[in-house]
Amino acid sequence: MSTLMRKMYRVNANSPVAKLVESIEQQTAERGLTVSRWQTNSKAHGFVDHITWTIHTGPRAVQARYQKNIVSSIVLHQIEGNTENCRAYRQLSRLLKAIQ
């Protein structure tokens, strides 16, 4: 199980979302890029999760807002789901297409 998958605690390891994340990790590694995920909870909007995924070159920043050399990025406003019908799957698919 990858490091990113361990951070996605609600995602089943055999789900379509998990397979998509593994594919993104593999594609970025082949191209010498890095994929990172940050999760924050915003009290201002009733504890809404903000999950930022970026594909970038260079080292990972401490927070998403400080990340440099971004190739592609998405922001989710809820925890990743497990099915192909969830919003996270659609957004992560776009992230994968950006590097292909």
Give the residue extent of every domain in the chain: 3-99
Reported as half-sphere exposure (CB side, CA atoms, 13 A), residue 53 has a value of 24
Please compute the mean of the pLDDT values over residues 22-28 and round it to a whole number.
93
Of 67, 82, 13, 9, the closest CA to residue 36 belongs to 67
pLDDT at 60 (0 to 100): 93
This prediction has a pTM of: 0.86
Handedness of CA 68, 33, 99, 77 (dihedral sign): negative
Task: Find the range with the poorest average confidence among 12-21, 26-35, 41-50, 85-94.
Answer: 41-50
Rounded Cα distance, 10 and 5, in Å: 9
pLDDT at 1 (0 to 100): 56
Handedness of CA 78, 80, 81, 86 (dihedral sign): positive
SS3 label, residue 61: coil
pLDDT tens profile 56-83:
999 999 999 999 999 999 999 888 888 9
The answer to whether 78 touches 93, Cβ cutoff 8 Å, is: no
